[in-house]
Chains A and B, each alone.
Chain A
């Protein structure tokens, strides 16, 4: 089961520091999280970037996540 670690901002909405997810595909993980935490909405997560074991990506909906992976949602950097 992959581990999702919440930033201090997201902890305000989930009330937890981290959780395990059963789903393996990223889009299903999103669905699992918003079902589990009523204050968490899809758009909160979709507008963030995700770090999968430290590798930062935007919305890899079809990505198969390894069950040993750690996921971190983070603010999307755009740069200048």
Chain B
């Protein structure tokens, strides 16, 4: 579908069309909407990590003169019905609802118990203390090891591990057990000259978006409702909220505000169904905005994990067997990204003998949510650390070892299909030839390398391209713009229509204006919504040809279209796009193209990162001295924003490797609930992040696009972890490499 070609507009770093709003403060985010008569909602949260809820008494709160509504799980009346229980995905809807407002158990510190709507935000917050909740305390379970013990306190009495031949007779905290295998790992390890086996741990970490969750909603008399919210997927907000509240989709309009970061954490609802209940009960629009501590204790985070990786290789570096084991914390409800972890762990390497076993385990922490390539960073961290140790044991350069075994077109994956064309080899070669890798490691510094793989996804996108009588147009699409994608949509439409991008205005439409677009996530937007933009634009071109053909009395096949001009191949006539649009009223009506697609053929993106660190051996503080991120983008539509994804992912990974973790006290309460002590990287922590964008086109996209947003967070964990280990001559196993841990390694290693 795509060959190497010259593009007229694609591949430029244009000024994003929403840029003026963003640099002036005009852009409206989740907390920026006010409606007439609006009141404020706040949530009462559990102070306990694990407790039975014996009773909730809201009478005093309801009697407060400023309080206009109170909500609890009992207000989700539709869920109690038998038809919901029998419907598809019912268990997931119940879990979602019970996370929005607790049913009979408080399952984590911060779990929403009840909600209040009052005339002012302060009154709502103050009135929370008037709600009387009786708890029966239960011992909290705070990590996978404790949760998986035979005598562990059980969070859900109806949880029986799925994935065994026979369903266990006893409830446990293990929701799912899975195993993927190919070949014969015993034979594979028997062939190996060197075997490396290590155990690793990664912490609970949060996506860390700077904008807290926020929404303004209104439930009208006939149930016609509106939600304005910060989200990666407003169509999915509509689906989830409608399911929880038993509403028809046509009664619920969701408008995606501009979004201040999501990274996967805003693909799930927390406030919206609750706010709608409060609006229904009070008869007023309701605004709910989370405070920063609420974001940390009650949303996200990503799964902490315990992992084991074992790899065997021959003396010449051929990998003969790979074995993995992982247990991921799902948080209070099942559904960690353990499965993608299992699927990605060893995928960068061609090996006939691989077995990976994984466990999805519930613990008394906030329900985990997606975070940039969910599940892959943890698993690939373990594998990449062992690959580096293997290289060392074999006396091989770590890039050469990876080149020798690199996955490529035709490589069999553990999850079933063979890979199609991919760019890992190209990334490894670019890494080897990079100025960074060619430079000597400074005295006392440590250097790390690691690779990363993520599938990327396609899925549904709807787009219309509406042409105006003056030849300008509007691109109506449904993918909330988290990183500048509107600029790429503008360029892709411009490329098809042959007119300058500035003639086309891309907008993100609400759920009433387009049929459906899947969430912005999974690195799908430039790929799938881009594909729909191209298809809708091609429809415009086809209509333009038809109109021109009618005017010239020829057939549409006799009309060529290039560079914004239709030409009569059977004569000399020409008409510009603007001229055809100007006469559209007379030739049959306005011109508009539409595409509703389920995009397929998403191409995986491989990455390789290099990092040099310096460790202060007296304090354990790690400084990142130099960092290079190399990744395959297929085709970079907007090079600067592609670089931005590589840099942003790298820095999130650096934070995860060096400092980010939830610290809990003995009662399961998070002690570092703010940005001061949940330490994400600052401008002063980092050097410039060098990027090399490799382009191995994805044949399934008209312009060769591969998603790039997610893969970049995967390599940093091992890149940095290994670099730290080299700098201090110790084996790093547990992340993050925060000063206390590094000091302990130095002193005890």
Contact between chains at A78 and B165 (CB < 8 Å): no
Encode A42-80 as 1/0 by CB contact (under 8 A) with B: 010000000101111110100000000010111101111
Which of B163, B264, B458, B521 meets A56, CB within 8 Å?
A: B458
A77 to B264 Cα, complex, angstroms: 13
In the assembled complex, the Cα of A53 lies from the Cα of B420 at a distance in Å of 9
- B225 contacts partner chain A, Cβ-Cβ < 8 Å: no
Per-position binary interface string of chain B over residues 47-60, scored 1 when its CB falls under 8 Å from any chain A CB and 0 otherwise: 00000000000000
B417 contacts A by Cβ under 8 Å: yes
| Contact yes or no, B598 A56, CB < 8 A | no
> How long is the Cα–Cα vector from A5 to B700 in the complex, in angstroms?
23
Does B353 have its Cβ within 8 Å of any Cβ on chain A? no
Q: Considering the chains assembled together, what is the distance between the CA atoms of A51 and B522 in angstroms?
A: 17
Least CB distance from B205 to A in Å reads: 13
Name the A residues within 8 Å of B339 (CB-CB). Answer: 75
Let me know if B419 and A80 touch, CB within 8 A.
Answer: no
- Chain B residues within an 8 Å CB radius of A74: 343, 415-417
Distance (whole angstroms) from the CB of B91 to the closest CB of chain A? 12
Q: Is the CB of B420 within 8 A of A79?
A: no
Within 8 Å CB of B207, what residues of A?
Answer: 80
Identify which of B415, B457, B458 gathers the most chain A CB atoms within 10 Å of its CB. B415
Given known contacts A7-B180, A9-B163, A12-B165, A79 and B457 CB-to-CB distance under 8 angstroms: yes
Task: Provide the bound-state CA to CA distance between A71 and B331, in Å.
Answer: 34
Residues on the A chain within 8 Å of B459, using CB: 58
List, in ascending order, chain A residues with CB within 8 A of B523's CB: 79
* Across-interface contacts of A57 in B (CB, < 8 A): 458, 598, 600
Q: Say yes or no: B416 contacts A77, CB within 8 Å.
A: no
A75 to B, closest residue via Cβ: B339
The reply to whether A75 and B343 form a contact with Cβ atoms under 8 Å apart is yes
Asked whether, in the complex, the Cβ of A79 is within 8 Å of the Cβ of B416, the reply is no
| Residue B179 CB within 8 A of the other chain | yes
Q: Mark A9-38, 1 if CB is under 8 A from B, else 0.
A: 100100000000000000000000000000
Tell which of B178, B181, B372, B417 touches A54, judged by Cβ atoms closer than 8 Å.
B417
A54 and B420: CB pair below 8 A? Answer: yes
A51 with B710: CB separation less than 8 A = no
In the complex, A75→B340 CA distance in Å?
8
What sequence of 0s and 1s flags, for each residue 236-278 of chain B, a beta carbon within 8 Å of any chain A beta carbon? 0000000000000000000000000001110100000000000
Please tell me if B142 contacts chain A, counting CB pairs below 8 Å: no
The answer to whether A80 and B522 have CB atoms under 8 Å apart is: yes
| A80-B458 contact in complex given A9-B163, A74-B415, C-beta closer than 8 Å | no
Is B455 among interface residues, defined by CB-CB distance under 8 A?
yes
Q: Which residues of B contact A8 (CB under 8 A)?
A: 179-181
Check A51–B455 contact: CB distance below 8 A: no
B416 touching A7 by the CB < 8 A rule? yes
Is B370 a contact of A80 with CB atoms below 8 Å?
A: yes
**Is there an interface contact between B598 and A58, defined as CB atoms closer than 8 Å?**
yes
Give the CA-CA distance A70 to B373 in the complex, in Å: 27
Q: Most B CB atoms within 10 A — which of A7, A51, A74, A79?
A: A79
Question: Once the chains bind, are B416 and A78 in contact (CB under 8 Å)?
Answer: no
Range class of the A interface residue count = 20 to 34
Q: Mark B586-627, 1 if CB is under 8 A from A, else 0.
A: 000000000000101110000000000000000000000000
Contacts of A60 in B (CB 8 A): 598, 600
Residue from the list A55, A78, A79, A80 in contact with B601, Cβ < 8 A: A55
CB of B184 to closest CB in A, whole Å: 13
Bound-state Cα–Cα, A72 to B303, Å: 28
| Nearest residue, chain A, Cβ from B421 | A54
Residue ID in chain A nearest B264 by CB atoms = A80
Q: What separation, in Å, do the CA atoms of A75 and B522 have in the docked complex? A: 14
- Please state if A73 and B416 are interface contacts (CB–CB under 8 Å): yes
| Complex contact B416–A55 (CB within 8 A) | no
A79 near B417: Cβ-Cβ < 8 Å: no
Contacts of A55 in B (CB 8 A): 420, 600-601, 700
Q: Are A72 and B521 interface neighbours, CB within 8 A?
A: no
**Beta-carbon nearest neighbor of A72 in chain B:** B416
Q: What residues of chain B lie closer than 8 Å to A80, measured between beta carbons?
A: 207, 263-265, 267, 369-374, 521-522, 710
User: CB-nearest residue of chain B relative to A49?
Assistant: B457
Docked-complex contact B457 and A51, CB < 8 angstroms: no
CB distance from B484 to the nearest CB of A (A): 18
Is there an interface contact between B521 and A79, defined as CB atoms closer than 8 Å?
Answer: yes
In the complex, A7→B374 CA distance in Å? Answer: 21
Cα separation A73 to B417 with both chains bound (whole Å):
9
Give Cα A8–Cα B88 distance, bound, in whole angstroms: 25
* Contact across chains for A78 and B415 when beta carbons are under 8 A apart: no
Taken together as a complex, chains A and B put the C-alpha atoms of A26 and B201 apart, in Å, by 42
Determine how close the nearest CB of chain B comes to the CB of A66; give it in whole angstroms: 15
Give every chain B residue within 8 A of A58 (Cβ-Cβ). Answer: 459, 598
Produce 1/0 per residue, B443-487, CB < 8 A to A.
000000000001111110000000000000000000000000000
Q: Which residues of A contact B417 (CB under 8 A)?
A: 51, 53-54, 56, 70, 72, 74
Contacts of A75 in B (CB 8 A): 339-340, 343, 415
8 A Cβ contacts from B195-224 to A = 207
CA distance A68 to B158 in the complex (A): 44
Residues of B within 8 A of A43 (CB): 88
Q: Which residues of B contact A53 (CB under 8 A)?
A: 417
Is A56 a contact partner of B455 (Cβ separation < 8 A)? yes
Are the CB atoms of B371 and A7 closer together than 8 Å?
no
CA gap between A40 and B264 in the complex, in Å = 32
Q: How far is the CA of A74 from the CA of B415 in the complex (A)?
A: 7
Interchain nearest-CB distance for A71 vs B (Å): 9
Restricting to B684-711, which residues have a CB under 8 Å from any CB of A?
Answer: 700, 710
The verdict on A56 contacting B522 (CB below 8 Å), with A9-B163, A75-B339, A75-B340 known, is no
**A78 in contact with B163 given A5-B416, A57-B598 (CB within 8 Å):** no
Nearest Cβ on chain B to A74's Cβ, whole angstroms? 5
| Chain A positions within 8 Å of B264 at CB level | 79-80
Docked-complex contact B370 and A78, CB < 8 angstroms = yes
B374 touches A79 (CB 8 A): yes
Q: Which residues of B contact A73 (CB under 8 A)?
A: 416
A23 to chain B, nearest CB (A): 20
- Most chain A CB within 10 A, of B374, B416, B600, B710, is at B416
User: Contact at B180–A79, with CB atoms within 8 Å?
Assistant: no
Which residue in A9, A12, A72, A79 is a CB contact (below 8 Å) of B456?
Answer: A79
In the assembly, what is the distance between CA of A45 and CA of B343, in Å?
Answer: 18
The answer to the question of B635 belonging to the interface, with a C-beta cut-off of 8 Å to chain A, is: no
Hey, which chain A residues are within 8 Å of B600, CB to CB? 55-57, 60
- Measured between alpha carbons, how far is A12 from B602 in the docked complex, in Å? 29
CA distance A53 to B459 in the complex (A): 18
CB nearest neighbor in B for A77: B455
Task: List 6 A-B pairs, Cβ < 8 Å.
Answer: A9-B178, A55-B700, A78-B457, A78-B519, A79-B264, A80-B267
Q: Give the 8 A-B CB pairs with smallest separation, nearest first.
A: A80-B264, A79-B522, A72-B416, A80-B370, A51-B417, A54-B417, A57-B600, A80-B374
